Amino acid sequence: MSMVVHQDWRYRDFVTLTAMVEHLVHAYGDAQYFDAAEELACDRRSFNSVAMELTQAQECARRLSNEFRDVTPQLPWRELRGMRNAIIHEYDAIDEEVLYSTAISDAWELAQMLKPKVEAMAAAFGVKLGKVWDELWQCSSESA
């Protein structure tokens, strides 16, 4: 499958940022059902899901253009790009406390910070985010 690369960095950043927010919200959504890191760690599927969502969010952050990061200096880009290293402190181990606290606190907070930016970019490009975007926030905010 070949991937069409859009020439406008702003549109590429919009698509990447939208995916990043979705990963952050899904990480929060999967972790929110557990009261502690130890509980999450006991559920292998949820634990792996949260880890993968946060890793994918970090990869999205890494793909955002320098131009985009320059116009949004208020966001913690360095920390976000380093999130994978904080979660995976050794190649075969994930720090369950860091994973849980990142998903429950940091991911949700960052997603909330990025939501208006994604919506503004969508409006600027004439893109309707639609029902799936609305449901993403509705499901996650019910227990936030």
Q: Structure tokens of 21?
A: 């927010």
Q: Give how far the C-alpha of residue 4 lies from the chain's centroid of Cα atoms, to the nearest Å.
A: 23
Name the band, by pLDDT with cuts 50, 70 and 90, for residue 50: very high
**What percent of the chain has pLDDT above 70?**
83
pTM above 0.95, yes or no: no
* CA 45/CA 142 separation, integer angstroms: 22
Mean of all residue pLDDT scores within the chain: 87
Mean pLDDT score, 113-137: 91
The answer, yes or no, to whether residue 124 has pLDDT greater than 90, is yes
What is d(CA 81, CA 32) in angstroms, rounded to the nearest whole number?
Answer: 23
Work out the average pLDDT over 25-45.
97
pLDDT exceeds 80 at position 97: yes
Terminal Cα distance for the chain, rounded: 38
Q: Is the pLDDT of residue 116 over 80?
A: yes
pLDDT score recorded for residue 87: 72
| Residues 6+ positions from 108 with CB-CB distance below 8 Å | 24, 25, 28, 140, 144
Rounded Cα gap, residues 34 and 43, in angstroms: 9
Question: Which secondary structure element, helix H or strand E, spans residue 135, and what is its range?
Answer: helix 130-141
The pLDDT of residue 94: 85
Percent of the chain with pLDDT over 90: 62
